[in-house]
Amino acid sequence: MWIDTDRAFQEFCHQAYTQTELAIDLEFQGEGRYTPLLCLVQLGLRDRCVAVDPFRVNLTPLAPLLTHPGIRKIVHAGGQDIVLLRRETDAIPVSVFDTQIAAAFLGYGEATGYAALAQRFAKVSLSKKQQFTDWTRRPLLPEQIEYALNDVRYLFPVYDGLLEQLAQHGRTDWVLDACADAVAQAVRVRETGQEYLKIGKLGSMSRRELAVLRELYQWREATARSRNRPVGTILHDDVLRQIAYTLPRTETALRQMRGTTNLSRELVTEILETIQQALALPESEWPEPVTVREYDPTLDGLATLLGAIVRLRAGTLDIAPNLLATRDDLLRFAGWVLRGRPAAEAGQLAVLQGWRRSVIGELLLDLVAGKSLLQIAPEAPGALRIIPPAPSTPADGQPDPGDTA
């Protein structure tokens, strides 16, 4: 069903509010834009699916559905969808179930596609004929609308099948926690003033040059946002870094640099003005030098060993190792161990939070404390075997520093 009036959409939302599940998918165009353009909203109930035209319909009535804890929102790989829904409705969805995340906890792979899950649980082969549709065009053809509706229509059998398997393995709570974490990650706004550090290769830059780079980075973000263009079409990272290194003061000097020849006169003027403004900043407002972390063989070796343990544990659970801990997670944990496991920092370690603590964190703590042992066993999976701790006795030692309870 096609919805392009506010009244019809309000009627659908009223019906959806009486249900316990809502399937959601979005079509959007991100190419050539700073902010993706929402082109179509597909919503599904157990007995009907609708395609909503966001060019003509006010999506505000969707907000109460998104924030209702008693209505489970079913999505597939929904990170970008969550961001757009928040932008369009000013609502952060709760009770989200992401089928891609759920599938990863059941051994289907870390980034399983929707079509594969629909084939597995709904026994349908989804056509890809319309995957390159220009969703900005109107009117959409019936077959294009049907293609879009299929993205929510089969979410229900996929959801039902995954939920049943999760219950059998006792992993439902793991997935719900992971989905909540994914939503929080998607909507988190990180504007710390340190974003320019993402450019990288800044270890040799002076504080003065870093101040220029920071101001140029913020100018580029504001310019891209105001023109709704990707930041890379304004200036590439390497060009931005080179400008901060060389500090050109004239248009001629700036245009001699690679990657600047096609800049408009307006942008050239703004860049030169930004450089001058940055150079006028007092030294107290310059950033501190970027510290390049030297290679630490002990830290790296410990993180690698921990990674082997994570892979071993993930193998026994038949889930992707990165769900338990990423390389960065393990480097942080290893650093914490080498610093003597300060209890005040335990709450900052992902492997010691939520479901991860019980699944992998406690095991790592036991190994670090010497309660469990790691044995090389060529006949075992991964050639490693974990020997669990002996039964505790009243004479056992003090609580582990990682115990934040």
In the chain, the domains with their CATH numbers are 2-187 (3.30.420.10), 195-285 (1.10.150.80), 297-387 (1.10.150)
* Whole-prediction pTM: 0.86
Q: What's the pLDDT score for residue 397?
A: 53
Task: Report CA 359 to chain centroid distance, whole Å.
Answer: 21
Q: What's the pLDDT score for residue 405?
A: 47
Give the amino acid at 357. R
Going from the C-alpha of 85 to that of each of 60, 65, 68, 209, the distances in angstroms are: 10, 11, 14, 39
Beta-bridged to residue 40, according to DSSP, are 27
Compute how many other C-beta atoms are within 10 angstroms of the C-beta atom of residue 159. Answer: 21
Return the H-helix or E-strand segment holding 42.
strand 37-44
Q: Please say whether the dihedral angle defined by the alpha carbons of residues 186, 189, 192 and 197, taken in this order, is positive or negative.
A: positive
* pLDDT-flagged residues of the chain (< 70): 190-191, 392-405
Q: Which of 363, 298, 361 is nearest to 334 (CA)?
A: 298
DSSP 295: P
Q: How many angstroms separate the CA atoms of 393 and 405, rounded?
A: 20
Q: Which of 44, 53, 37 is nearest to 99 (CA)?
A: 44
All residues at 6 or more sequence positions from 65 whose CB lies less than 8 Å from its CB, including other chains: 13, 16, 17, 22, 71, 73
DSSP 400: P
